[in-house]
Amino acid sequence: SENMESILLFAPLFGVNIWHAAVICMSKIETGRFASISESALLSSLTLCVHRTVHVLGALCFIAFGVLIIDVWWPGAFLLTLAAVFDVFQAFYLNKKTNHRAFTLRDAHQVLAWTMAVCYMLFCLLFTIHTHVDLWLVASYVGILLSVIIWSQLTRFAYFWVAQMIFFVLTSV
């Protein structure tokens, strides 16, 4: 049913974004500085366990959504399922040895996380086209993401946690 599809699509978007904001705030309180989502999730073994659980539950919802829509729109179902699989892997590859410098593509967690982000972004773009969202909204989304990337580069990723939250919230919207 449409209600089930909506729940499977939107519950993880809200849940995971709320968790990301919460873990960043917890890390700020504990360490006195803001850190990326991944760095924040490593605050303790409990936060890492919750982080992984939240990502697995979100991914399971996305995969279930993909299964429900595969007959109607298989490219979106495939891309969302692929993103969800990368989401789970990146969460489980996150550990104390993870290199948190941006674009460190020799680190398994980073490669998986960037691949996940690209897959979610491509799903979002395909979904907006598939559902006939106005082109100016799609162009605005891409423009804001490009602006965030440029801003992150200019600030040498000093506020990467902000860029991450903008990306995930904007992609969710």
Q: Which of 48-62, 66-80, 96-110 has the highest mean pLDDT?
A: 48-62
Q: Read off the amino acid at residue 95.
A: N
Average pLDDT over residues 115-120: 96
Q: pLDDT at residue 1 above 80?
A: no
- Confidence band of 94 (pLDDT split at 50, 70, 90): very high
Q: Please give the share of the chain, as a percent, with pLDDT higher than 70.
A: 100
Task: Note the pLDDT tens digit of each residue in 8-18.
Answer: 999 999 999 99
Q: pLDDT at residue 20 above 90?
A: yes
Q: How far is CA 120 from the centre of its chain?
A: 7
Q: pLDDT at residue 84 above 90?
A: yes
pLDDT, residue 99, reads 86
Direct distance between the N- and C-terminal alpha carbons of the chain, in angstroms, rounded to an integer? 22
pLDDT, residue 66, reads 93
Q: In whole angstroms, how large is the CA radius of gyration of the chain?
A: 16
pTM summary value? 0.92
DSSP states of 29-42? HHHSS---HHHHHT
Residue holding tokens 């674009």? 103
Q: Distance (Å, rounded) from C-alpha 22 to C-alpha 16?
A: 10
